[in-house]
Structure formats: structure tokens, C-alpha cells
Amino acid sequence: MDWIGREWIPSSQGALLLIYAATLEDIEYLEKNAPRKLVIAVGETEIKDCKQLLERGYLCLGKINKEEAVQWLRDKIESRELIAIILRLTEEPQGTVSVFPQFVLDIIEATQSMRIPVWIDSFWNHFLTHSDSKPIARRILVGAPKSPNDTGWDWLRKSFYDLSAQALSMHSELEESIGWQAVYYLKERKNLPIFIDGYSQKTLTGKVLLGIALKVASWISKNVHEQRVGVLLPIGAGAVIVNLGIVFSGKIPVNFNLTVGSAMNLVSIERSKVKTVFTAKMIKEKLQDFPWPKRTIEIESLLQSFSKLSLFFHIFLADHLSTKALTTLWGIPKLGGNREAILLFTSGSFGEPKGVPLSHKNILANISQIKTILSTIPIKKLLGALPIFHSFGSTTCLWWPILGGPQTVTYVNPLEIEKLANLIEQHQIDLLITTPTFLRQYLKKVPPEKLRSLKIVIVGSEKLQRQLAADFESKFGIPVCEGYGTTEAAPVISSNVVDPFQPLVQ
């Protein structure tokens, strides 16, 4: 594949190509496909034995002193050679930018040569499965050069961010619909547990979830005529099935807030033009002041109304028909792009709730970025206890698990900290996504052995105090990373990450 922005690379002049991270396979690809012959220099490396790098003709900057490295680079530049400096040589592809190795920056600074940022975008058979498979191709993006007279390194970080964002936007898979991808991923993991409901103890494998959701979708298509369909359910098997069924029916789920007053929810119902709401009997009895529309469907009653034979038949179809056949039969479009996929409402902290439509592309891009951020950590199980009427819970605890993410153990109430800790221990959860408020309760109420399986904790929705993060890591030995986002961003904008060159605390 051609290099994008190759016009920034001089045809005969010496220059430094600055690449944040690359694998050995990436470097081989660069050497074979570069517009000019490359000389390779490596900074930090995950490969402890530099002998194989030297045998390839690469210079290990960390194995010689600064003066030697600078002189070597200057000689190459004077010889009009093109030098690719790999700031970090990694064993697995990297999609994030962490701390630049200072000794490499010092060497580059002293070289006084033209610097050109380069981003390697490795992509796979399907863009959300990349951590489990080898890349099938690579896209190389080149940014505008900087003269040696420019000081500081903020420009380089921004260049890497801009190039990586450009690379992500070029993935055609982002134009697909969440419904089509849900069928694809549930088929791919048809015999594996996707969700385990920690409250009801029900397990949904890929084919069971897909089959039941398709049955619900058929019922919705026949009986619900408006485009948006309401949901008032906590995270769990019922909420997963209903949201997926609504999407499969070609309609838009609107998850209403279980914690705000009736006046706020009335505004949300009126603005979304929802006339049908799916809920559970227990929720309906508990929230009697909710502005229930005339048509309220209790999900447990609906599922019980389906014959066992009908449910078995739909699960059989989910098991044996291809993704193409299922999406054709149910009319699930492959493309979604910028069309509205779900509708969320802000909590009304600053006046009345505001509707925020999220597109298929919003959700798919955010999930891709989440998986990229966590690509260096083997995450197999997630605790999903955040409310799905907020975008943080909707993306991380509902759609990410459906669309190729980790197996997820759900629980209806994020306030029951002791119960959640027991679930973490029982199911050997790797990843906890929560808020600083809830994190403080873990610190107060949970003994360290309950959370021993966790590899990382990510918090969002409010500011994380440094002392809280330090106290949590001190007690449990688990790093806490902070995310930032907004509903409109689906929601993650940025997140602290664990440096792949610094091993996790165990």
C-alpha cells in the first residue's frame, strides 16, 4: 500500500523519520515499501536481546553513548540517507502514544536534522479483532516536517495524534452498522458466554443472545410503529436483549434515567417522541411516579409469551445461518455511518435533559479506540455495573461486549459494593470500569484479596483525585487510570493508559 503524505519525504536529501512505535514486522514492511532505502535506528525496545537487531543492520541507540549515536546519525545525514528512528520497538502493534524516551529525544535534538513524523496503522481482517490476530496490511501516514531550529516536542505528539486520527477515519469498517456488526461478532463467539447476569445468574452465549434478540426484533417490527423505542432497565440480561432487539428491528433505543425525577423523564419522553417503553415488573412497581406511556412492555412477560419451540428455532437459526443470511432475513443493513443508532439524554445538571443522538460511526469508533488503548493488557472479563442510560455505561458495559469486547458480568446496582467485589472474585474479573465515588467505597469496604484478579481499573464521569488513586493502588496493588469524555463523544475522549514498557503492578 502506498505511503500517504509521501510528498513530505525528500527525494535525495538526508532526513529523520520519527516513528513512535513499531514491531519487527512493521520495520520489515517499511524497508520493503519505503519510497527510498531506509537506515533503521531503534530507541527503547521490548526485545531484550539486541543481537538480532544488530544482525539486521539496525542501530540500537540505547546500547551506545550519546556522542557516538549523534555522530553516527550525522554521518548518515551528510551521506543523504533517510533514517527511520523507532522511538519504541514493541512486540505487539501499538495504537496509543505514551511517554517519549528522553534519551532518544536528546540524541535527535543534538543531530540538528530535518524531522518527519510517521504513523504506522496496522489493520486486520476486522478492525475490532486486531489484538487476537496478525495484521493483514499496513497503512503508512507521513506528516509535515519540522526544521531542526524548532524547539520542544509538543509538535511531535500532536502530529502522532493527528496522523492516528486520520488513519482511524480511513477504516471502511467504521461505516458499518452496529446491528450488522453485532450479528457478526455474536456469530463469531456463538458458543462462548457474552454476558453473565450477576443478579439473575443467567448466562447469554453468542447464539442464545442473538437468537432471542432476533425473536424480539421480529415482535417489535410487527407491533411497534414509531422509530424510537424507550427502555427503562438496569444493565442485565433483559436490557441487553431489548436494546439489541430494538437495533435489529431497525429502530433506535432510548434508555431513560432510573435516578432522576419524573419531570426530567417526562421531558425526555416528549422530546424523543417515545410511545412504547420496555421495562421489568420490579422496576414498574418501584418507580410508580415515572411518566409511563400507555404502552409499557414488561420484558419478562414478553419473553414468557414466546413458545419454547419458537425461541429454540431462532437460536437454531442464529447458530446455523451465516451473518449474511441472518442480516438479509431481518433486513439489518450493513452500513450505518452517520445515521442515528441510539439516543441518550444528559442528566439535566444544567437545566432540562438534552437529547444526544449517537451515530453508528460514533459508537464503532469509540469501541475501536477503547480496544486500542487496552491492547497491551490481556482483558478477558469485565465487570459491567454502570447504568446504560449514561454513555459511559452504554458504550463500555453494553455495546463493547456485544461488538467483540470481553466477556461481561453485569449487576443491576453499582452501589452494592460488597456484592460487586464478590462477583469480581468469583468470576476472576480483569477490568473494573467505575467512577471515583464508587471506587472510594471499594477502598472502604473491600479487603484486598477480593480484587486480586483485577489487572486495571478505569474511572470516569468525575474527576479522580490523585490521593484516591494512590490509596487504591497502595491497598490493592492495582493501577487506576482516568478517562475523560462527554455524552456527545460516545463518550471517551481521552484516557490515561498503563505504559507498555512499565509492567503492571501485581
Question: In the predicted model, is pLDDT for residue 82 greater than 90?
Answer: yes
pLDDT for 172 equals: 83
Residue 110, domain member (yes or no): yes
In this structure, are 234 and 126 located in the same domain? Answer: no
Residue 99, domain member (yes or no): yes
Residue 277, domain member (yes or no): yes
pLDDT for 128 equals: 46
Q: Give how many domains the chain has, as a whole number.
A: 2
94 or 258, greater pLDDT: 258
pLDDT for 374 equals: 80
Within 10 A of 11 (CB to CB), how many other CB atoms are there? 9
- Name the pTM for this structure: 0.84
Q: Which amino acid is at 503?
A: P
Question: In the predicted model, is pLDDT for residue 490 greater than 70?
Answer: no
Sign, CA dihedral 174-179-183-185, equals: positive
- Boundary of a domain, candidates 141, 170, 199: 170
Local confidence band at 193 (pLDDT 50, 70, 90 cut-offs): very high
pLDDT for 75 equals: 92
- Residue range 65-77: mean pLDDT, rounded: 91
Domain CATH code at residue 282:
3.40.50.12780
- Boundary of a domain, candidates 170, 204, 221: 170
pLDDT for 497 equals: 66
Local confidence band at 130 (pLDDT 50, 70, 90 cut-offs): very low
Q: Which domain holds residue 266?
A: 178-495
In this structure, are 157 and 184 located in the same domain? Answer: no
In this structure, are 60 and 198 located in the same domain? Answer: no
Mean pLDDT of the chain: 89
> Whose CA is closest to 96, among 117, 65, 120?
120
Q: 366-409: per-residue pLDDT in tens?
A: 898 888 778 778 899 999 999 999 988 999 999 999 999 999 99
Residue 501, domain member (yes or no): no
315 or 294, greater pLDDT: 315
- Residue range 9-15: mean pLDDT, rounded: 91
For 80-152, where are the E strands, in sequence order? 82-89, 115-123, 137-142
Q: Which amino acid is at 464?
A: L
pLDDT for 502 equals: 52
Which alpha helices (H) appear in 321-416, and where do they start and end?
323-329, 360-373, 391-393, 400-402
Check if the beta carbon of residue 95 is closer than 8 Å to that of residue 372: yes
pLDDT for 405 equals: 93
Residue 504, domain member (yes or no): no
> Whose CA is closest to 92, among 57, 135, 51, 138?
135
Percent of the chain with pLDDT over 70: 92
Question: In the predicted model, is pLDDT for residue 133 greater than 60?
Answer: no
In this structure, are 400 and 270 located in the same domain? Answer: yes
Local confidence band at 348 (pLDDT 50, 70, 90 cut-offs): low
- Residue range 404-429: mean pLDDT, rounded: 96
In this structure, are 214 and 341 located in the same domain? Answer: yes
**Cis ω before 447 (30° cut-off from 0):** no
In this structure, are 319 and 468 located in the same domain? Answer: yes
> What is the spatial distance between Cα 160 and Cα 142, in angstroms, rounded to a whole number?
9
pLDDT for 277 equals: 97
Q: 433-459: per-residue pLDDT in tens?
A: 999 999 999 999 999 999 999 999 999
Check if the beta carbon of residue 26 is closer than 8 Å to that of residue 91: no
Which of 148-162, 198-212, 354-368, 370-384 is predicted most confidently?
198-212
In this structure, are 125 and 208 located in the same domain? Answer: no
Kindly state the cell numbers that stand for 283. 422496576
- Three-state SS sequence of 55-80: HCCCEEHHHCCHHHHHHHHHHHHHCC
Question: In the predicted model, is pLDDT for residue 505 greater than 60?
Answer: no
Question: In the predicted model, is pLDDT for residue 83 greater than 80?
Answer: yes
> What is the spatial distance between Cα 287 and Cα 456, in angstroms, rounded to a whole number?
35
> What is the spatial distance between Cα 168 and Cα 128, in angstroms, rounded to a whole number?
12
Grouping H, G, I as helix, E, B as strand and the rest as coil, residue 208 is: helix
Sign, CA dihedral 413-417-420-422, equals: negative
In this structure, are 10 and 137 located in the same domain? Answer: yes
Check if the beta carbon of residue 457 is closer than 8 Å to that of residue 497: no
In this structure, are 337 and 486 located in the same domain? Answer: yes
Residue 422, domain member (yes or no): yes
In this structure, are 82 and 204 located in the same domain? Answer: no
In this structure, are 157 and 216 located in the same domain? Answer: no
Residue 284, domain member (yes or no): yes
Which alpha helices (H) appear in 99-205, and where do they start and end?
102-111, 154-169, 178-188
Q: 262-312: per-residue pLDDT in tens?
A: 899 999 999 999 999 999 999 999 999 999 998 999 999 999 999 999 999
Grouping H, G, I as helix, E, B as strand and the rest as coil, residue 270 is: helix
- Boundary of a domain, candidates 170, 200, 220: 170
In this structure, are 309 and 160 located in the same domain? Answer: no
Which alpha helices (H) appear in 306-409, and where do they start and end?
308-320, 323-329, 360-373, 391-393, 400-402
Residue 503, domain member (yes or no): no
pLDDT for 259 equals: 87
29 or 180, greater pLDDT: 180
Local confidence band at 189 (pLDDT 50, 70, 90 cut-offs): very high
- Residue range 136-159: mean pLDDT, rounded: 86
